[in-house]
Each structure stands twice: as C-alpha cells, then as structure tokens.
Amino acid sequence: MASSSDFQQDRHSFSGSPQKWNDFELPGDTLYYRFTSDMSNTEWGYKFTVTAGHLGRFQTGFEILKQMLSEDRVVPHLPLGRIWEWQVGVACRQTGHQRLKAIHLLLKVVQCSTQRDCDLTLLKPLWQLFTHMENNLCQDMAKPGILLPLHRALAELFFVTENRVAELGTLQEYLLALNTEDHLHRCTAQ
C-alpha cells in the first residue's frame, strides 16, 4: 500500500499472518494497493479497512481535548453534548489504547457535565461490551486473573455514569435504555 501509483511514496508492505499487520496513516486522499498471492494457500486473501477524514493524529486530538476538559474555565464553553456523541462513537470504533483513551475522555466529560448535557443512553454498545466481558469473567472464575484495562475502564465509566444519572433522578430510564428486552426478561426471571 502506498500514496503513489508507483508505490514509492509512503509504502507499507505486509505478508503473512494478520498479527504482522499494523495500523498506519497515509497522507492525501488516495490509497494505492497491490495484492499478490504466492498461491500456497486457498484462502481468500486479506481484508483491510480504510478510514478517511482524519484531521490530525489521534494522540494530538486526545491531548488537546483532555487538556480542555481539565480547565475549569474552558469547560462551560465546550459543546459537551456534541463532544460526548463524538467520543462515544470513537470509543465504539477504536481498539486497544485508543479505545482506552476515548473511554478516559468519556469519563472526564461525565464528570464535567453539570446538567443533562450528554445523552448517556448512547453508551449502549459499550454497555453490551462490558456485560459481555462481565459474563466471560463469571464463567472463568476458576481461573484467577487480573481484570483487563478495558474492563476496568468500562467498570469505572459505568460506575460514575450510574451515580450521575442517580443524582439527576433518571436512573430507571437510563438502565432501561441500556439493556435489551431479552436481558430484562432474563433478569426478571431470575
């Protein structure tokens, strides 16, 4: 993959198992790729995802937003609702350290919000991820282990968020919005 048709600029070559592939960024608005098979396997090939429209690197945006959310005099002027929506989307799409950083920013937004700035029901996909992790943890109780950083981050986010909605008096609506009907039926049956 490269940013030029002659594959000389910003070239990235990959071969072998998916673990050898790394995320990378290319400047510009065009990606050129070439796939060559050595015919040693009958697999279908490789799958990759291209995401366009980044206005800078993730780390830069994270640091700027983290700093802005840490400044008490700046927070009242921020569109927390829009930042919240954007960050929830980022946390759902990203993986690894970038997801952890997005969850860190979500936690800061929840702690900064004073009114009903944020639609907390947007957390439903992250809640589903968290409950899936919780279910797996319960099944693996025979194996002692350390909670994964993502599990810890989500636990803290949902603990703080639940306290926030309890303060606002909307706990029941929040819990109903996050859970599926099947989950509510199972809980009722238990």
Give the CA radius of gyration of the chain.
21
So what's the pLDDT on residue 142? 55
d(CA 179, CA 185): 10
Q: Look at residue 49 in the predicted model and tell me its pLDDT.
A: 80
pLDDT (0 to 100) of residue 143: 56
Residues 6+ apart with CB under 8 A from 104: 66, 153
**Gap between the Cα atoms of 164 and 80, Å rounded:** 15
**What is residue 84's predicted lDDT score, i.e. its pLDDT?**
93
pLDDT in tens, the chain (190 residues): 888 889 988 898 887 776 677 778 777 667 888 888 777 777 776 777 877 665 557 777 888 899 999 999 999 999 999 999 999 999 998 888 889 999 999 999 998 886 667 888 899 999 999 988 888 776 665 555 556 899 999 999 999 999 988 888 888 888 888 887 887 777 778 7
pTM for the model:
0.64
Read off the tokens for 125. Answer: 């996909």
Using N-to-C axis directions, what is the helix angle for 124-139 and 171-178, rounded to 10°? 70
Rounded CA-CA distance 11/97 in Å is 25
Give the pair of three-digit tokens for residue 104. 């860190």
Rounded CA-CA distance 130/179 in Å is 12
The partner residues of 67 in beta bridges, in order of sequence, read none
pLDDT of residue 46: 72
Residue-level pLDDT at 127: 92
